[in-house]
Structure 1
Amino acid sequence: MQFAVVIAVKNYKSVIRPVLLHGSECWAVKKTDEKRLHVAEMRMLRWMCGVTRMDKVRNEYIRGSLKVAPVTEKLKGNRLSWYGHVKRRDETHVTKRVLSLHVDGWRGRGRPKKRWMDCVKSDMKEKGVSDSVTGDRTEWKKKTCCTDPK
């Protein structure tokens, strides 16, 4: 890999990706939002490599050559990391109390809106972890963290 590309990848990992994912721990991400993040990420990665879409180079090849994990996987890892952090908090802390809050009332007609907890449950199912693991911080991080390929 060229020296300029190595520097660009370091900048991407330390500046651009955190900006893309800022506050993502509490997003209820829809498929369209994930797709937008993926497109923005791939545009930046292609630009760093000097590759255009006309060159017909696959996204997996670009991501593999730069050794960068997909931004959507990082998003899920961040969300699960925050969930584990909240579950380990003291029972009297406001974030822990809000997590188990039940609001009385009724929902409108139609499909319910996607909630943050729905995203967390699907992420946990995808990673194969349960709530019982949240108490052990190192085990939780090992099972939920998404690292960049080496």
Structure 2
Amino acid sequence: MTYGAKTWTLTVDLIHKFKVAQRAMKRAMMGVSLQARIRNDDIRKRTKVTDIAHRISKLNWQWAGHVCRRTDGHWGRRVLEWRPRIGKRIVGRPPARWTDDLKNVAGSGVMRKAEDRVWWRALGKAYVQQWTLVGC
């Protein structure tokens, strides 16, 4: 379910869809139907499965640190810095970019800040917490 999650742009809607899918899978694994009226909290305690939002956001943050620390001229870092739009943009909210969340948590200069691994891990906890609380 999390294949490729490292590179996804996280949105509230995406996290909500994954949480719904995870709850459905847990119910199916336990053989519990919705008609049984067993609370999701009880099922979560019984299965002891990691929350999907926690897992995806942690993978995303770790991959971001990895890509930011690369110094071999790999394409991943160039893609992060690339701004594809030329000319006028469409009407409405601009689409979320992968680096937007990173910049919200780490501030500007994300590439340079990722060099310090201890500091990066500490910021990662805040990043993961932000997405874990979404769409409960």
TM tier, smaller: 0.7 to 0.9
Deviation at 1:60, TM superposition (A): 2.2
Query: If the length of structure 2 is used for normalisation, what is the TM-score?
Result: 0.72
Query: If the length of structure 1 is used for normalisation, what is the TM-score?
Result: 0.66
- The structure 1 segments of at least 4 consecutive aligned residues displaced by more than 4 Å after TM superposition are none
Aligned residues: 123
Where 1:135 maps in the other structure, the secondary structure is coil
Identity %: 30
Structure 1: unaligned runs, 5 residues or longer: 1-19
Return the structure number with greater relative CO, CA threshold 8 A, min gap 6: 2
Residue pairs, 1:7-86, within 5 angstroms: 20-86=1-67
Measure the CA separation in 1 of the matches of 2:103 and 2:44: 27
What do the CA deviations read for 1:13-60 (whole angstroms, capped 9, x no partner)?
xxxxxxx11111111233332222111111111122222212222222
1:144 aligned to which of 96, 121, 124: 124
Measure the CA separation in 2 of the matches of 1:105 and 1:77: 35
Amino acid at match of 1:99: L
The 8 Å contact of residues 79 and 120 in structure 1, kept in 2 or not, is answered as no
Q: Give me the CA root mean square deviation.
A: 2.7
**2:96 counterpart of 1:114:** yes
Q: Assess, with a 3 A threshold, how the Cα gap between structure 1 residues 54 and 133 changes in structure 2: closer, same or farther.
A: farther
1:89 aligned to which of 52, 57, 70: 70
